[in-house]
Structure 1
Amino acid sequence: MHAFDQSTALERAAGEGADVRFTGAATPHFKNIIGPYGGWSAAILAKAMIEAAGPEMELVSITTDFLAGAREGPVTLDVVCDRGGKNTQFWHVDLTAAGDAGPSNRAMGILSRRRETVAWTEGERPEAPAPEDCVRADLPMAWSRTVEMRPTRSPPFAKGDGCTHSLAWIRLDPARPLDAVALVALADTPTPRLFHVIGEFDMVATVSMTVYLHASPEDYAAVGTDYMLIEAHAARGGRGFYDQHARIWSRDGRLLATTQQIVWYKTTIKE
């Protein structure tokens, strides 16, 4: 079993329909500096909603709040449908680590029975060297062994004189066919924008991340196990928080997902 599937595996513990409990585990594969990699948390929360909603419903968006870093080991996911119409459902889920009194992470998600409509994409995939011509980033976190990142512009810790725009090719390692759960996880791959401003590591924490999924079943099939290009930037940082915005493109120019975060930091001006 792929390490990503092992780390997001769920077992139904109780409930059916609109109120379900799953069990899973926070594994070492996605360990970050403090607790698990945020993309893992969002992915396992997304998977819980997708499995509870059933195969006819597709994940449209998920907002994950990172209340604390989940401890390694068993976790419980409590999933509730707040409102379910014919074509659109609203869900929320809490992830609680064993021994904790309250949730470490929580998410709200929208799932839909999607239909064919007028479609468009604004903008184009940025120009970038082929992933095969780019060097893989060597990061100290465990999750970077399972998530492959090949920067093409502004590598991690490259000070950009206030510009935080970066490009990188991404995919799971070993290669795994793309699906909605993996796409949610990969949305958290850009290194913190603060590092591009100060040119070094400092403590940050994502407070909340929203992912909007645009990919169709045909898009997932077309990408398969190939690399995707993620472009990211921050509009403004200050007074302890900055925003981060990103778009994920297929190699052939399909816009697969857009995402945004609000991130806490404490870096001050050095004298």
Structure 2
Amino acid sequence: MVQPIRSHADSADGSEADSAQQSGAHLFDQALALAQVNTTDHRAAYEGQVHPAFKNINDPYGGWSAALLARAILNACDSELELVSLTTDYLSVPSGGRLQIDVDCDRSGRGTEFWRAVLTGRADTSPANRAIAILARRRDTLEWTEGSPPDVPSPEDCQTIDLPMAWSRVIEIRPTVDLPMSINRDTNFSAWVRFTPGRELDSIALVALADTPMPRLFQVIGRPEPVATVSMTVYLHATSADYAAVGDDYLLVDTRGARGGRGFYDQHATIWSRDGRLLVSTQQIVWYRTTQ
């Protein structure tokens, strides 16, 4: 028997946003709606749907896909566990709108658990996305932070950019210096981001926001070309105090690359709060075919 966990959203137009506002659910949370199909000890299955508000150019926004997998894992695990890291592999584009997510726990210890989730389209015979997650019962230990956020203008002094992807109407992006496709062999780039309308920050939101940086290739050649994230890892450093302090404020995403060649390049980013708290570090490996 299918048990609804959250209400589903039906479209990405203005009426949908009005409906979300009336129900009290943010559009992002509606897009992560899951229905429980089956559950046993340390194993669960859910059904979801590709949401039009989180479409990229030709496929779902990778940050949404990763967040959906994280949501399924957190639904299945003990509520005391926190997400420490999530690695999402993008094997293919899921077919159709309906999705199935199968979640399993590979190992459960006293303080740390290892989970995996596989996303399959209704008409697919093989996985479209897969994720492995580390979860833990966090405890107080020695803390430190290496590095610091770049010195950039405040978000109020930066312009919002309009992008053609549907998800950019749900996530606001304000570059701090050059526009995303300014030709520059140094691919360092930073931008302020947040959900619009505002949404309180949590680990699921951080996973989605980790995929907001424009592809490094665009910085190198100054134009859009076909690219595809093959794998993305998100390390979550934020504490409950950090989430409370940030609320729904802007976050600074500082992005850089190291090297590209022979069809792949890397991408690294850190996400900072306005007051300089390091919340996330993340990395990707990205496929491309541009030759010049």
Which range, TM-score by smaller chain? over 0.9
Are residues 1:166 and 2:189 paired? yes
Are residues 1:221 and 2:241 paired? no
Q: 1:40 is matched with which residue?
A: 64
Q: 1:72 to 1:140 in 2, by over 3 A?
A: farther
Of 26, 30, 41, which aligns to 1:6?
30
Displacement after TM superposition at 1:5 (Å): 0.4
Of 179, 183, 191, which aligns to 2:214?
191
Are residues 1:132 and 2:156 paired? yes
Are residues 1:233 and 2:256 paired? yes
CA distance in 2, matches of 1:31, 1:260: 21
- C-alpha contact (below 8 Å) 2:96/2:123 kept by paired residues: no
Of 183, 205, 212, which aligns to 1:182?
205
Displacement after TM superposition at 1:153 (Å): 2.4
- C-alpha contact (below 8 Å) 1:63/1:211 kept by paired residues: yes
CA distance in 1, matches of 2:252, 2:177: 11
Give SS of 2:60's match: coil
Are residues 1:67 and 2:91 paired? yes
Q: 1:268 is matched with which residue?
A: 291
Give SS of 2:176's match: strand
Map residues 249-264 of structure 1 onto 2, 5 A cutoff: 249-264=272-287
Are residues 1:147 and 2:171 paired? yes
CA distance in 2, matches of 1:118, 1:16: 37
CA distance in 2, matches of 1:230, 1:72: 32
Q: 1:72 to 1:217 in 2, by over 3 A?
A: farther
Instruction: State the one-letter code of the partner of 1:141.
Output: M
Q: 1:117 is matched with which residue?
A: 141
Count of paired positions: 268
Displacement after TM superposition at 1:34 (Å): 2.2
- C-alpha contact (below 8 Å) 1:67/1:103 kept by paired residues: yes
CA distance in 2, matches of 1:15, 1:150: 42
Q: 1:22 is matched with which residue?
A: 46
CA distance in 1, matches of 2:227, 2:102: 28
Of 71, 77, 89, which aligns to 1:53?
77
Give SS of 2:87's match: strand
**% identity of equivalent residues:** 57
Displacement after TM superposition at 1:72 (Å): 4.6
Unaligned runs of 5+ in 2: 1-24
Runs of 4+ in 1 over 3 A off after TM superposition: none
Cα shift readout 1:190-242 (whole Å, capped 9, x = no counterpart): 00000000000100000000000000111111110000000001100011000
Q: CA RMSD in A?
A: 0.8
- C-alpha contact (below 8 Å) 1:65/1:207 kept by paired residues: yes
Displacement after TM superposition at 1:154 (Å): 3.0
CA distance in 1, matches of 2:271, 2:223: 25
Cα shift readout 1:113-168 (whole Å, capped 9, x = no counterpart): 000000000011111111011111111010111111100023211111x1100010
TM-score (norm 2): 0.90
Are residues 1:207 and 2:259 paired? no
TM-score (norm 1): 0.97
CA distance in 1, matches of 2:206, 2:75: 16
